[in-house]
Amino acid sequence: MKSGTHKTSSLFCLLAVMMFSLSSCKFNSNYQGRGDDGLQGSWIEESVPYEKDLLHYSLHEFEFTCDSVYITIKTFAKSQILPDPCYQQGTWKEYAKGVYIIRGDSLLIEATYTHENWKQKLTGCYHIGQYLPHFKIIKQTTDSLYLENRHSHIPTALRKTKTTTCIPKIVY
């Protein structure tokens, strides 16, 4: 009789652990999130303060689509900071894609460097891996966005060039 009770209680414990484990799981939806309605569309940075005095600077383009972001970074360098095949006479572009979230006054981006076709970049010139800028939103209007990169004191002034509406898609 004792061995039957022991088997029953062991089975009960096992079922309880399985039920607890299953109830703590959360289904990860394949649908895009909505993102921020005010950011939806394309934004371009046309200049950087004191760019003529800087040895190296970058201009950004952002395309916000629902909770996704596509970033083009055009870099200008007056002195050769890379080997010849990568230096490209001091002007080159890099690309990143990922997701973003707005938390309070911060724009947090979690992206990966890609090739121009938005496929992950594993080798080559310039950056490889994650692109993780954290911006403070200084000011936002319907057609302008002023950001301050938490890792740099150069402000990012963006002008909206296109407005879009988020239509969430299934993401694979």
Domains and CATH numbers, the chain: 41-163 (2.40.128.280)
For the cut 80, the answer to whether the pLDDT of residue 6 exceeds it is no
Using a cut of 0.95, tell me whether the model's pTM lies above it.
Answer: no
* DSSP helix/strand/coil, 163: strand
- Concatenate the DSSP letters of all residues of 114-151 into one string: E-TTSPBP-SSSS--SEE--EEEEEEE-SSEEEEEETT
Q: State residue 23's pLDDT score.
A: 47
Please list the residues that pair with 31 across neighbouring strands. 170
For the cut 60, the answer to whether the pLDDT of residue 26 exceeds it is no
pLDDT in tens, 100-117: 999 999 999 999 999 999
Taking residue 74's Cβ as centre, other Cβ atoms within 10 Å add up to 14
Please list the residues that pair with 130 across neighbouring strands. 112
pLDDT in tens, 45-96: 999 999 999 999 999 999 999 999 999 999 999 988 777 788 888 999 999 9
